[in-house]
Amino acid sequence: MSNPVDTAFKKPITVALTGASGAQYGLRLIDVLVAAGHEVWVMISKAAHMVIATETDIELPAQPTRLAQALSERSGALPGQIRCFGREDWMAPVASGSGAPSAMVVCPCSTGTLSAVATGASNNLIERAADVAIKERRTLVLVPRESPFSPIHLEHMLTLSRLGVVILPAAPGFYHRPQGIDDLIDFIVARILNQLAIEHTLVPRWGEAERPGNPPSEKDR
């Protein structure tokens, strides 16, 4: 049986990484949520592990306990702040509507995962967790990273949007004059945090001057 939510942390946020390009967005989101004091529930698909190995120099084990330790070490998380769940961990809190409520972000979201969520498939824990979020009317943010989108992709996005799911493509803006890749990553992470109603200083809000206090990005470590 899964452990109860640790009340020492802020409300849990579920972060799932799937096999689309853009693993940096999901990893940065985990870091920022940890810095904000939230408990973070993490699921990383097999394809996402391959993408992480391809796009970054970060080595993450697949075994959930070891994965939680590795993510905690790189993000500075407190003991128990990051919990990781495997592909078929059906006793995880995200697997049932009777589990502890949690907003969920799939970042990046592959088009395969997009399709599965849109059609109600629950072939693994990530898909099931998204299905639970929809049926329980919880916040669900999907961050697709694909180009171009096919009519099939767009139909799935429309279906999910009509159900209240936030479709937030990984398409960073440039009006904040990014100085490098990390600034582009932070732009998308900031938009995700806005959807979760979590305060941040990653990028200046429109009409506001830049504010200090950003959590350190990968380039600052």
CATH of domain 11-220: 3.40.50.1950
For 125-159, write each residue's pLDDT tens digit: 999 999 999 999 999 999 999 999 999 999 999 99
89-119 pLDDT per residue, tens: 999 999 999 998 999 999 999 999 999 999 9
Q: Where do the domains of the chain lie?
A: 11-220
The 10s digit of each residue's pLDDT in 166-212 is 999 999 999 889 999 999 999 999 999 999 999 999 998 888 765 55
Tell me the average pLDDT across 66-72: 98
Q: Give the dihedral of Cα atoms 18, 23, 29, 35; nearest 10 deg.
A: 120
Q: Which amino acid is at 196?
A: L
Rounded alpha-carbon distances, angstroms, from residue 193 to 26, 38, 47, 56, 115: 12, 12, 25, 23, 24
For residue 4, pLDDT over 80 is answered with no
Asked if 36 contacts 7 with a C-beta cutoff of 8 angstroms, the reply is no
Q: In the numeric block, which tokens belong to residue 18?
A: 């799937």
Cα–Cα distance, 13 to 82 (Å, whole number): 10
